[in-house]
Structure 1
Amino acid sequence: MSRGRRAIAAAACLCACAVLAAVPPPASGALTLPPDVVARVGAVDIPVDLVARVAAAQHISPARARDAVVRDALFAGEARERGLDQAPEVQREISAVLARRLLHRLHEDAANAGPVSDDELRAATERHWLDLDRPEGYRTVHAVVRLPERADEATRDKATGIAGAIRTAVSSAREIALRSEPPRAAGSRKAPADPAADAFISAAKSVPADGLEIVAQPLPPVTAAGRVLSAEPQRFDPDFSRAAASLAARGDLSAPVTSGFGVHVIMLLERIPAQIVPVEERRRMVRDEVVADRARAAQAKLLEALRREAMVVDGADTSLELVRIEP
């Protein structure tokens, strides 16, 4: 059987199933249609609500919807008469369509399960924290005098002294920062060059390292808790982050700060304002995603139960898994 005939047979049989499920067969010898029935095809009644649903779904008039349903019922009857509904390939087509209908029902049930709970809101907020619950961030440039592992006290004192010299050397960069505004990116994700940062790096690298290593570089914005303002999960050393957050204005310099990497001098380039969406507005914004999560969880639970009870036949679980539930 060609794929086109299989699809027609499957669709016809499914339409017949929908009609038969919608209303029981009429009593034998009935001469008139019940009030909620618009047509009768053989022993099958075409109910008003089915026609209304077809009209709404396809954006057509009730008369056209009625004619379409009657036509499908006629085709379905002929398909059954010929035994097309029993062909394995048609059964697979039917299984796939029924799987999609089941997933649609799971999505409806999820939508009707009530408002977004506090736990669901917390989980969704964590996934989208940059847009929904972003604390203030601090964009900086720093120079760090790297400390070797198990550095002795003399080495640590030397690193602190070099950091002090760097702080003095970068005072010219501070003046540039005070006279300028943070540059703004024009449609680019990459941070634009900042003359104050460039001057800081150049001045820091001019200081003699005295056998140690000096690393100077601009850094992405970070929160006071150390979380980088990025979709990627990144964190900075907490001592560094607290020191960065203590700087009040562009051009402010920290005293030498020791972290697990070495001794830093930090200059603030920009404070990134917090973005906190009110809770109820946030709840509305994440609703579609939460409903999709509920439906996916119900799908996984159903598949697990079917597999456990050995009730899955002919790859029906595969049909379910292939259909994605989107928010």
Structure 2
Amino acid sequence: MSVRAGVLREGRGRCAPRLVSLVSLVSLVATAAGCGGSGGPSGPPPERAALAAGTVARVGQEEVHEGTVSRIATSQRIDATAARDLAIRDALFASEARSRGASNDPDLDRRVSAALARRLLHQLLAEADRLGPVTDAELERVMARRWLELDRPEGFRTVHAVVRLAENADAATRSRAEVVARAIREAVLPVGKEARTIARPQATRPFEDVNDPIVASFRSAVDGVDKDGFEIVVEALAPVTADGRLVRPEGGMLVESFARAASALEARGDTSPLVPTSYGVHVIVLLERTPAQSVPLEERRRLVRDEVVWGRASAARSKLLEGLRRDVLVDRSAESLLALVPIER
């Protein structure tokens, strides 16, 4: 005998269980013990009886269902009769394996448990899909994460200098810092005018930070200002939205007062008035306004549907697991016992 793709090819003299029609839904009860050897007597004929809807055969206590036959026929590209034959033979051998104790293998138990767990997760996913279209609330939650891709506002790319100042600085110290910041603004005003005559280099990929020559000119102008003992920080920043979100894949936020001041600048080279924040006093020069990009609402729903369905299934999984964990008991000495478990590496 040889086994190939789940099919047992029987030699001459072996008895094969007689099959029944899918349409008639009658029972076939067969046992391996009823088959004689080569030239021996055949076993008793299979019993026939009405079965429950959807059940096409019964082998001992094993039932063969229409869905099983359909899946076998589809996956192996065979007709329903041949598929039913395979399902019945699998059931026969499975029953015999259990009678011989083959099902008592711990490794088999683990594999069966893992397969059942995966099957349950697939069912949860199917149930989540049947809940219907993406709701407004679900879309809003996804948009909070994917706004950069689906609904990106206009951004404002800047270079700035900040005179660092503690939030609890006294009035005299704050006044000195503002004097330094005004000197910085005067020093960078010509840089802003220069920026209007020099186009910003074009990026070759989305969100790329190119080497804008105005940044070097800005830094050089700031370096020439008397700092009066204050720390001065110069930074070229990613575009920021009017509400403070940084327009870049890694995200981030800027303080609202800075973002508002940046969004008030209209053209490349425009210079802000002094902008106080919790970090100190800033002077900002606009380098570029990045355009808004928005995907139509219904297209957004289509694009986020898979993510929403997975989110629904994940939430159902977590809720189910939380309820099931109430039935878990762990021995108090489990940690010490687990430390003794041999693990192959």
Provide the TM-score with structure 2 as the length reference: 0.73
Q: Does 1:216 align with 2:224?
A: no
| 1:229 positional shift | 2.1
What is the match of residue 295 of structure 1?
313
- Asked if 2 retains the 8 angstrom alpha-carbon contact of 1:257 and 1:263, the reply is yes
- In structure 2, relative to structure 1, the CA distance for the partners of 1:276 and 1:189 (3 Å cut) is closer
- In structure 2, relative to structure 1, the CA distance for the partners of 1:161 and 1:43 (3 Å cut) is closer
- In structure 2, relative to structure 1, the CA distance for the partners of 1:31 and 1:168 (3 Å cut) is closer
- In structure 2, relative to structure 1, the CA distance for the partners of 1:59 and 1:115 (3 Å cut) is farther
| 1:190 positional shift | 5.4
Map 1:199-278 → 2, pairs under 5 A: 199-232=217-250, 234-278=252-296
| 1:200 positional shift | 1.0
- Asked if 1 retains the 8 angstrom alpha-carbon contact of 2:124 and 2:317, the reply is yes
CA deviations over 1:87-142 (Å, ceiling 9, x no partner): 44323322221111111111111111121122211111112222123222111001
Structure with higher RCO (Cα < 8 A, 6+ apart): 1
- In structure 2, relative to structure 1, the CA distance for the partners of 1:179 and 1:294 (3 Å cut) is same
More helix as a share of residues: 1
1:219 aligned counterpart, secondary structure: strand
1:142 aligned counterpart, secondary structure: strand
1:128 aligned counterpart, secondary structure: helix
1:286 aligned counterpart, secondary structure: helix
Map 1:53-68 → 2, pairs under 5 A: 53-56=71-74, 58=75, 60-62=77-79, 65-66=83-84, 68=86
Q: Does 1:191 align with 2:201?
A: no
Provide the TM-score with structure 1 as the length reference: 0.76
Unaligned runs of 5+ in 1: 1-7, 9-22, 313-327
What is the match of residue 141 of structure 1?
159
Matches of 1:24 and 1:91 in 2, distance apart?
Answer: 32
What is the match of residue 101 of structure 1?
119
2:142 aligned counterpart, secondary structure: helix
- In structure 2, relative to structure 1, the CA distance for the partners of 1:258 and 1:307 (3 Å cut) is closer
- In structure 2, relative to structure 1, the CA distance for the partners of 1:35 and 1:221 (3 Å cut) is closer
Matches of 2:143 and 2:233 in 1, distance apart?
Answer: 36
Matches of 1:163 and 1:31 in 2, distance apart?
Answer: 95
- Asked if 2 retains the 8 angstrom alpha-carbon contact of 1:176 and 1:195, the reply is no
- In structure 2, relative to structure 1, the CA distance for the partners of 1:137 and 1:59 (3 Å cut) is farther
- In structure 2, relative to structure 1, the CA distance for the partners of 1:305 and 1:151 (3 Å cut) is closer
Map 1:56-95 → 2, pairs under 5 A: 56=74, 58=75, 60-62=77-79, 65-66=83-84, 68-95=86-113
1:180 aligned counterpart, secondary structure: coil
* 1:234 maps to amino acid: G
Q: Which residue of 97, 117, 120 maps to 2:138?
A: 120
The number of residue pairs the alignment matches comes to 290
- In structure 2, relative to structure 1, the CA distance for the partners of 1:25 and 1:231 (3 Å cut) is farther
Unaligned runs of 5+ in 2: 1-5, 7-24, 30-45, 331-345
CA deviations over 1:241-270 (Å, ceiling 9, x no partner): 111000011111111222222221111111
- Asked if 2 retains the 8 angstrom alpha-carbon contact of 1:141 and 1:217, the reply is yes
